[in-house]
Amino acid sequence: MKKRGSLGYLTKEGFRNLWVNRMMSLASIAVLMVCLIMMGTTFMVLVNVQTVLDIVEEENALSVYLDMDATPEQVQQVKEDILMTNNVIRCEFVSKEQAYKEALEQSDFSPDSEYFQGIGNPLPDKYIVVIEDENLFNETFTKLENIENVDVVKGSVDIANTLIEIRTMITYISIAIVIILLFISLFIISNTIRITMFSRRLEINIMKSVGATNWFIRWPFMVEGMLLGFISSIISLGAVWGLYKALEVAIYKLLGTLNGMFEVVDFKEYALYVLAAFIVIGVVSGGAGSFVSIQRYLKERGGVVYDDED
């Protein structure tokens, strides 16, 4: 009960310190918010980039052309074989008649033109195949080629390789940004708490002189740091949401003609994920930054205890 009561008292002290040192707390929240807003904005930009890449990948579908003499039963069997192939999301059938009509519509000739008199439809049936993972493009390409009654498969390997490189680059950039901003957050919290400790060095020294353990001194500062991170995360979510909506409106005004091709991702779909990430990053960086600062302060003052009571 004593330990539980002490923990409750120390936690309350952490809340109280937040208000007592409110100017420093506001400064910490403001700077930490900047880091979180940068993280959130970067994340949503990357989500939209990934969405564009998904659209491009679907456009880079494989065209599976069937043998000219394939029967309706064989055409259906090819479809089943395609759908059973690993990495295939879906396939769409394009009949030879439909392909012929589309080809004529895209040309300057009419189907009734004298140039086509006596000439049959030279185009085969085909399936438009959308794959899931561009990294398995070549493997999927080969499997589709080996399906019975398939004449030829066409698709751009260069586009697939380019998309893979872009995705890989985006992944590395995302990881680098998160790591950099996380270290910045730790640095900010650590130094803010350190300044707070310096202003309260007399109080800390008195606690040490009466036998207070290091954890007794550390915990209120850690609570204070975690609270700073939590408050920053909540406010940052609203700030990112508002900023994202403003950017969305601006994008649609500038690129209104592209609305039919690409829709900006709705922030609501990712709001809970962003909030959860903000809270974890804010609380962890706040607690860890406070711990590092108080640990360093106590060590510099020669007050670190390494026994089991620490």
pLDDT band at 237 (very low <50, low <70, confident <90, very high): very high
Whether the Cβ atoms of residue 178 and residue 39 lie closer than 8 Å to each other: yes
pLDDT at 2 over 50: no
| Rounded average pLDDT over 241-265 | 73
The pLDDT tens digits of the residues spanning 149-190 come to 888 888 776 777 777 788 788 888 878 887 887 777 777 766
Q: Which one-letter DSSP state was computed for residue 119?
A: -
- 116: which residues sit within 8 A by CB, 6+ positions away? 109
Q: What percent of the chain has pLDDT over 70?
A: 69
Among the four given CATH numbers 3.30.1490.20, 3.30.70.3040, 3.20.190.10, 1.10.1240.10, the one describing domain 61-155: 3.30.70.3040
Residue 162: the pLDDT is 78
Whether the Cβ atoms of residue 102 and residue 174 lie closer than 8 Å to each other: no
Nearest CA to 229 out of 274, 195, 197, 189 is that of 189
Q: How many CA atoms lie within 13 A of 138 on its CB side?
A: 5
pLDDT at 299 over 80: no
Distance CA 267, CA 280 (A): 19
Nearest CA to 293 out of 217, 205, 202, 229 is that of 217
Contacts 24+ apart (CB under 8 A), 303-309: 303/208, 303/214, 304/214, 305/213, 305/214, 309/213
- What residue ranges in 136-243 does DSSP mark as E strands? 150-154
The pLDDT tens digits of the residues spanning 24-53 come to 777 777 878 888 888 888 888 888 888 877
Residue with the bigger pLDDT between 251 and 73: it is 73
| Rounded average pLDDT over 267-275 | 89
Q: Name which of 4-13, 111-120, 220-229 the model is least confident about.
A: 111-120
Q: Which helix (H) or strand (E) holds 267?
A: none
pLDDT at 244 over 50: yes
Residue 239: the pLDDT is 92
Could you tell me the maximum CA-CA distance found in the chain, to the nearest angstrom? 107
Residue 88: the pLDDT is 87
Q: Encoding tokens for residue 256?
A: 């209104």
- What residue ranges in 95-243 does DSSP mark as E strands? 126-131, 150-154
pLDDT at 1 over 50: no
Residue with the bigger pLDDT between 280 and 250: it is 280
What does DSSP say about strands 62-66 and 126-131: parallel, antiparallel, or unpaired?
antiparallel
Q: Which residues pair with 90 in a beta bridge?
A: 130
Whether the Cβ atoms of residue 224 and residue 290 lie closer than 8 Å to each other: yes
Nearest CA to 185 out of 28, 23, 291, 18 is that of 28
Question: What are the residue ranges spanned by the domains of the chain?
Answer: 2-56+171-300, 61-155
pLDDT at 72 over 70: yes
Owner of token pair 């060590």: 299
pLDDT band at 235 (very low <50, low <70, confident <90, very high): very high
Stated length of the chain: 310
Owner of token pair 């009509």: 101
- 108: which residues sit within 8 A by CB, 6+ positions away? none
pLDDT at 227 over 70: yes
